[in-house]
């Protein structure tokens, strides 16, 4: 997974992707066994769901005008926010109500967020480097994508705002 050439803030995408890929909950969602396999399920930052389709199961990291920011201080401390959309398959057995399905999916996304926060800024398994400095996660939307032409639910989606640093 190459780091996009976006200037001084480009490494934040790779750092966020590694943190996400190392969570057990994301690996369970994507049915992967290793960080490298899970990284293959994460797209950034120019993935277009309408053009490229949802990477289900998987994730997209991106910037969103008005909702994300990146800053650097005189002391060269960095901080900001990124968007993370998680995509998961529709459950094989559907619940009786939409609210039950949304709650179940919100819990999956919440587990991923909590595990990311638990790992944040701690040592990586190599014991040489540290995880990305994630400080907060905000759930913005939990829903599913629906194909109007076929009247079929394609996948579940959860959009999170990730805050780091400063």
Torsions phi, psi for 52 (to 5 deg): -100, -10
* Residues contacting 131, CB < 8 A, separation 6+: 15, 18, 19, 22, 119, 120, 121, 122, 123, 124
What is the reported pLDDT for 165? Answer: 83
DSSP 131: -
Contact indicator for 4, 15 with CB cutoff of 8 Å: no
Residue 44 φ then ψ, to 5°: -165, 165
* Pairwise CA distance, residues 135 & 10, whole Å: 19
pTM of the model: 0.86
| The domain over range 11-165 is classified in CATH as 3.30.70 | no
Closest CA to 40 of 21, 23, 19: 21
Q: Determine the Cα–Cα distance for residues 112 and 25; give it in Å rounded to an integer.
A: 5
Q: What is the pLDDT of residue 10?
A: 64
- Residues 59-90 have pLDDT tens digits of 999 888 787 788 888 887 888 899 999 999 98
pLDDT at 60: 92
Residues of the chain falling short of pLDDT 70: 1-10, 166
Question: Which CA distances in Å does 99 have to 103, 106, 115, 123?
Answer: 6, 10, 24, 38
């Amino acid at each position: 997974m190459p780091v996009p050439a976006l200037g001084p803030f480009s490494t934040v995408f790779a750092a966020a992707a590694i943190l996400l890929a190392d969570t057990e909950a994301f690996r369970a969602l994507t049915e992967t066994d290793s960080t490298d396999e899970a990284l293959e399920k994460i797209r950034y930052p120019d993935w277009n769901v309408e053009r490229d389709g949802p990477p289900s199961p998987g994730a997209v990291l991106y910037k969103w005008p008005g909702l994300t920011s990146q800053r650097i201080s005189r002391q060269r401390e960095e901080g900001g926010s990124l968007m993370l959309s998680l995509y998961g398959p529709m459950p094989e057995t559907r619940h009786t109500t939409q609210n039950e399905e949304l709650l179940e999916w919100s819990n999956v996304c919440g587990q991923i967020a909590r595990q990311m926060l638990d790992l944040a800024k701690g040592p990586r398994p190599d014991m040489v480097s540290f995880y990305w400095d994630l400080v907060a996660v905000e759930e913005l939307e939990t829903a599913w994508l629906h194909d109007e032409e076929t009247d079929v639910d394609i996948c579940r989606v959860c959009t999170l705002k990730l805050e780091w640093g400063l």
